[in-house]
Amino acid sequence: MPHEPESALDEIAEPADGAAAEPGGATAVGATAAGGARAAVRRRRIGVLLAVALLAYVIDLVSKLLVVARLEPDHSVIRVIGDIMTFQVIRNPGAAFGMGQAMTVVFTAIAAAVIVVIWRIARRLYSLPWAVALGLLLGGALGNLTDRLFRSPGVFRGHVVDFVSVQHFAVFNLADSAIVCGGILVVLLSFRGSNPDGTSHQPAKAKDDTAAAGTTDRTE
């Protein structure tokens, strides 16, 4: 009489048609389970990236709508910290912090390219810090790209709304801040040897130190 599995666990543990006798069966099952777990981690990291990007984008968009509605009509200035930091609306045709004002279309293309690159990296994203960093970059790039596409004087040539003015520095917006913070985090992660896929690489200086130590050991 054929053996009836008593539970779902028995059914999983007892492969059909003698599969248990096939060499490497357990290894294949383990590899499949590990692959599934890794895919789940990647989905969670992409979820973090999108959540951070959405938060940065919404904060930037809402802040711009508010300052345009409240400050731009009568060119008002709000003093946040005396004359050191103020809020005043400036339409910026250039890049972050007012640079490259004659290259609006170029910076629009660059912002779109950055978004594509971030999304390509996200396909092999398993690191939580990298997810946060890329989310900040994506949200900031989308925030300024929205201005380029939908604000005057026209599509791809729209001027970005800047409103945070720091004395002796520049006028910028929260999308610029997100991009800068994300960029700094990317540099720090790279310096520490962290990769987006969760692996680690040894910084160049550490490699040189390790090689020098190995040479010293061999000569002693």
The answer on pLDDT for 5 being more than 50 is no
Q: Tell me the C-alpha distance between 106 and 96, whole Å.
A: 13
Q: How far is CA 107 from the centre of its chain?
A: 19
Q: Tell me the C-alpha distance between 46 and 35, whole Å.
A: 16
Write down the pLDDT at residue 208: 53
Residue 31: count other Cβ atoms within 10 Å of its Cβ: 11
Residue 24: pLDDT band by 50, 70, 90 thresholds? Answer: low
DSSP string, 38-89: HHHHHHHHHHHHHHHHHHHHHHHHHHHHHHHHHTTTTT--EEEETTTEEEEE
pLDDT tens string 39-72: 899 999 999 999 999 999 999 999 999 999 999 9
Q: Tell me the C-alpha distance between 8 and 194, whole Å.
A: 41
Is 176 marked active-site? Answer: yes
- Active-site residue, from 10, 74, 162, 197: 162
Write down the pLDDT at residue 94: 63
Q: Which residues pair with 165 in a beta bridge?
A: 86, 171
Average predicted confidence (pLDDT) for the chain: 81
Higher pLDDT, 11 or 193: 193
Write down the pLDDT at residue 26: 65
Residues above pLDDT 70, as percent of the chain: 72
The answer on pLDDT for 102 being more than 70 is no
- Active-site residue, from 17, 60, 176, 208: 176
Residue 95: pLDDT band by 50, 70, 90 thresholds? Answer: low
Write down the pLDDT at residue 30: 67
Write down the pLDDT at residue 34: 74
Is 162 marked active-site? Answer: yes
Q: Tell me the C-alpha distance between 141 and 178, whole Å.
A: 9
Residue 123: pLDDT band by 50, 70, 90 thresholds? Answer: confident
pLDDT tens string 131-186: 999 999 999 999 999 998 999 888 888 889 999 999 988 889 999 999 999 999 99
This prediction has a pTM of 0.74
Ranges 89-98, 100-109, 142-151, 179-188: which has the least confidence: 100-109
Residues 33, 27: contact at Cβ < 8 Å?
Answer: no
